[in-house]
Structures are given as structure tokens and as C-alpha cells.
Amino acid sequence: MLRYGHLIGGRQVAPAAAWLDVFDPARAQPYAQVADGTADDVEAAVAAAEAAFPEWSGWPAERRARCLERLADLLESRADDFAHAESRDAGKPYALAREAEIPRAIANLRFFAHAATQFASECHHGQAGLNYTLRQPLGTVATISPWNLPLYLFTWKIAPALAAGNAVVAKPSELTPATATLLGGLLAEAGFPDGALGIVHGRGEVVGEALVTHPQVRAISFTGSTAVGRRIAGLAAPMLKKLSLELGGKNPTLVFADADWERHLDTLVRSALQNSGQICLCGSRILVERGIRHRFRDALVERVRALPVGDPMDPGVRVGPLVSQAHFDKVTAALARARTEGATVLCGGGALDRPGWFVAPTLLEGLGPDTATNREEIFGPVATLQSFDDEAQALALADACDYGLSASVWTRDLDRAHRLAARLRVGMVWINTWLMRDLRTPFGGTGASGLGREGGMEAMRFFTEPKNVGLALGPSLE
């Protein structure tokens, strides 16, 4: 059986204690094992990172950038293997991994290779003299990433951290360790010094917490659930650590009667259900202007019913299984709760009768904004429909939950689009599109969706410490 070990000090290392099973979600069968890491494994990886930091941070930015570029090249040359590994590990459609997620991981590495050489700091020239700000790497930092977009989010964190000159200890999700481990195997060939990036596998409450509370880990970049984000914040705050938290979402999709919605139906379906709804940005609450609700609902139901569900390796499949037994149980329990709350099931509504953790793509209606179904993140192939009469009601429905990650607005009325974009209580708004990403833009949410922003120079700032230097200028220069 395949085994995914740690990467510590540039070497693949077996765990000090035990292994965990890794499952193929399309079959609900173990296909590999991953290191069940311990605090000792974290200790060893942090020690190796501390040892690598002086060399790595001392290199000119161009040299660090070349390592990231070479890593991107190596990943690109093996993109098929990585897409296969990702598809089997996470149960995601191969086509999605091959066409979107592995290319995005490559783009993350290239983008932050460039950012390393483009990053600039501030300079203030004034009556007080000249102030310039150094932006120095922090030292050893930790990244903790989830299972839904494994390599895409792993690289989204390690690339800026490394580009800024930090040494990194990364913890991928124990449910999806494959592609991070494969990438770790390419680091030496890409030219990274041993230990500059370590990977420690294992359970969150053991490895994750050992990283968060390790005194030499200066900052934690976390993407995952709001509950775990709160726990990490509670551990890190008394230690005064730098923290970036990208958490859950329950995003509204606002469809106005004047929208060109027929033309956008495919995107609207994707926005609700891509990756079986296991994307923090999925629009799981669809809000429709009352005048078009019947036509819109019927057209949407028809498209959703036609989605090809099945073996994620099949190139035509658009919807695969959920990632784990525990997540399958959570999503099916949420569907049972929706029924007790009075939901009408328009399509789907439960598990598929086949091996693996499959839930049929589901649309629900008849639930108000205060129901648990409309307030809590389900993170499965489940979206609800609600109707509104005017813009004010649409805004009130959109804001009627604690999350504030993203929203999409569908209308031909530009004034309305911009007005709503300014008022919606979220970190990101798309107008007549969804998940249109430019890696330079700030990425993140408000409220229960997290703290701080990733992306572009925001990430480079997070992974550096600003140090201001003030210099008196002679009177003739003032």
C-alpha cells in the first residue's frame, strides 16, 4: 500500500508512532496510509526549518524566485500525475483537477515567484526626515490547509511564505495528503535548501495544535472551518502570534429579474455545486426576484438533474463523491434537518445508492432565512432558493447569516450592481460571474468567514514584519 510520510529536513520520514488510513471517496475504501504525526515530528520539522532559515532568507529574492519557478515547471511537467492523485485522494472530478486546480497550483507558484522580486516597501519623506520600512521575513511560519482544494490551497500559502524568505512547516489535511507529498518530493530538484519547506502530516488536534503553539512558529496561516479557526485563534492569541484565518462561507447568489440568467445558467449551477459544493465560495443560498422565481427554478432544476454524477476519474463526470464518511454523515444529517424545518426538495435530497460517499445534487426551497439550513455551512451539493421583492429585501436576505465570505450579483442594472457590491457585508463580490480570480486581489472574508486577507501583496505583507527606520535629514534637504 502507498504510504505518505513526512518531509523533514529534506528527507522523507516515517512517523514516530503510527499511520492513518487514507480513503478513496469514490469507493469508500482505504487506498493508502499517511503518517499520524506527533508533537515530536513537529519539533523535528521546526528545528530543520530554523536551521534552513538563515540560508534561505539570506539568498537574493531572485534566487528564491528561481526555486519557485523551477518547482512550477516540475509540477507542470507532471500535471497529469498530480491531477490523478488529487482526483483519487479527494474524490474530485479528474477534469476539474486537471483543467482548473493543478493549473492554479502552478499559477500560485509562478505568481509568488514574481512577487518575490516585485515586492516593495514604503518610504516616507517629510518634515520629520526620511522614514523607510524594511519588510523582513518572520522566521519559521506554519501553514495549515484543508482537503477541499488540496494542492491549490497548499501552494496558495507556502508560495508567498517562501517567496518572502520564511522557512515553512506545512500541514496538509490528513484526508488528502497525496499531492502535497508528491510536491515535497520535487523540492530538492527545484533547488530548495533542505528544511526550507517541511511537511508534517497528521491529525489537526495533534499536529495542527503542536504547530500553532510551538514557540518558534511566528505566524500561522490557516484555511479551514470556522470552529477550528476559533480554536486556533484561542491558542495563538495569548502567544501574540500573527494569524490569518480563511474560514467557512454561506454565500448568497442574488439573481434579479433583469439579469441575463438564461445565458449564465451553467455558471450559476457551477457556483452552487462545483466540487460537490465543497468550495468555500460556493453560492449555497440562491436569492431570486419573485417575478422570475418559477421560470428560474424550473430551468435550474432541469440543469441540476442533468449533471453527470459518478466516478471522478470518468472524464465526463461533473459531480463526484464527498470526501469522507464523517462529511457524508454531516451533509446527509443536514438534509434530514432541512426536511424537519419544512424544506421542499426540488431535486436530489439524499445519498445515491452506490458505493462511495455520493450525495445527489440537491435544491431546496420553502425555508426562511432563520432556519439552520440557511444559516449554517453545509459544504455539500446542496443549495436553497429564496425569493425577494426588491433590492432592500435581497440585501437583508443576503446579510442574514454570520458568514461574510463572498456574494455574486446577477443584473443588467449597473447602478444596482455597484450599489449592492458596496453594501453587501462580505469580502468579495462578483457581478454577473463567479469565481473569477486575479491573484493580485485581496482574498478573504468578514464575520465568521475569517480574519485578514490573502492574495497578492496582502500575502507578502502578512508573511513579513515591517520595521521602520527613521533618519534625520540635514536642514538643507528638508
Q: Which residues are catalytic?
A: 246, 280
Interatomic CA distance for residues 403 and 251, integer angstroms: 8
Closest C-alpha among 71, 122, 36, 232 to residue 457: 122
In this chain, which of 140, 143, 148, 166 binds ligand NAD, going by CB under 6 A? 148
Q: Give 328's contacts (C-beta < 8 A, 6+ positions apart).
A: 321, 322, 351, 357, 359
Interatomic CA distance for residues 181 and 164, integer angstroms: 22
Q: Is 110 or 327 the residue whose CB approaches ligand NAD more closely?
A: 327
| Closest separation in Å from C-beta 149 to ligand NAD | 6
Closest C-alpha among 393, 379, 365, 391 to residue 298: 365
State the virtual CA torsion across 183, 188, 194, 199 in degrees, nearest 10. Answer: 10
Choose the binding region for ligand NAD from 2-10, 217-225, 417-425, 462-470 (rule: CB under 6 A). 217-225
| Closest separation in Å from C-beta 249 to ligand NAD | 5
Give the ranges where 98-238 is alpha helix by DSSP (H).
Answer: 102-118, 150-163, 178-184, 187-190, 209-212, 226-236
Choose the binding region for ligand NAD from 12-20, 110-118, 203-211, 343-351 (rule: CB under 6 A). 203-211
| Closest separation in Å from C-beta 44 to ligand NAD | 18
Residue at grid coordinates 496561516: 221
Q: CB of 276 within 8 A of CB of 330?
A: no
Share of the chain residues as helix, strand and coil, in percent rounded to the nearest 5 = 40, 25, 35
Q: Is 166 or 223 the residue whose CB approaches ligand NAD more closely?
A: 223
Helix (H) or strand (E) holding 450: strand 450-451
| Closest separation in Å from C-beta 178 to ligand NAD | 14
Q: Is 147 or 192 the residue whose CB approaches ligand NAD more closely?
A: 147
Closest C-alpha among 443, 458, 462 to residue 149: 443
Q: Is 147 or 357 the residue whose CB approaches ligand NAD more closely?
A: 147
Distances (CA, A) of 233 to 173, 222, 376: 19, 10, 20
In this chain, which of 144, 178, 304, 395 binds ligand NAD, going by CB under 6 A? 144
| Closest separation in Å from C-beta 212 to ligand NAD | 6
Site string for ligand NAD, 21-60 (x = CB under 6 A): ----------------------------------------
In this chain, which of 33, 87, 108, 173 binds ligand NAD, going by CB under 6 A? 173
Closest C-alpha among 170, 265, 186 to residue 220: 170
In this chain, which of 37, 93, 248, 381 binds ligand NAD, going by CB under 6 A? 248
Closest C-alpha among 153, 111, 145, 318 to residue 220: 145
Q: Provide the terminal-to-terminal Cα distance of the chain, rounded to the nearest Å.
A: 71
SS3 157: helix
Choose the binding region for ligand NAD from 193-201, 228-236, 254-262, 328-336 (rule: CB under 6 A). 228-236
User: Is 334 among the residues that bind ligand NAD (CB under 6 A)?
Assistant: no
Interatomic CA distance for residues 276 and 148, integer angstroms: 10
Distances (CA, A) of 153 to 160, 180, 231, 372, 454: 12, 10, 20, 28, 11
User: Is 212 among the residues that bind ligand NAD (CB under 6 A)?
Assistant: yes
| Closest separation in Å from C-beta 73 to ligand NAD | 26
Residue at grid coordinates 449554517: 376
453-472 residues in contact with ligand NAD (CB under 6 A) are none
User: Is 228 among the residues that bind ligand NAD (CB under 6 A)?
Assistant: yes
Q: Is 145 or 374 the residue whose CB approaches ligand NAD more closely?
A: 145
Q: Is 119 or 147 the residue whose CB approaches ligand NAD more closely?
A: 147
Interatomic CA distance for residues 440 and 437, integer angstroms: 9
User: Is 231 among the residues that bind ligand NAD (CB under 6 A)?
Assistant: yes
| Closest separation in Å from C-beta 171 to ligand NAD | 5
Q: Is 193 or 445 the residue whose CB approaches ligand NAD more closely?
A: 445
337-396 residues in contact with ligand NAD (CB under 6 A) are 377, 379
User: Is 223 among the residues that bind ligand NAD (CB under 6 A)?
Assistant: yes
Site string for ligand NAD, 270-289 (x = CB under 6 A): ----------x---------
Interatomic CA distance for residues 156 and 455, integer angstroms: 8
| Closest separation in Å from C-beta 210 to ligand NAD | 9
Interatomic CA distance for residues 255 and 271, integer angstroms: 13
Q: Is 39 or 347 the residue whose CB approaches ligand NAD more closely?
A: 39
| Closest separation in Å from C-beta 247 to ligand NAD | 5
User: Is 249 among the residues that bind ligand NAD (CB under 6 A)?
Assistant: yes
- Number of residues forming the site for ligand NAD (CB under 6 A): 31
Buried residues in 373-411 as b, exposed as e (16+ CB within 10 A): bbebbbbbbbbbbbbbeebeebbebbbbbebbbbbbbbb
> Which residues in this chain contact ligand NAD in the complex, by CB under 6 A?
144-148, 153, 171, 173-174, 204-205, 208-209, 212, 223-225, 228, 231-232, 246-249, 280, 377, 379, 405, 445, 449-450
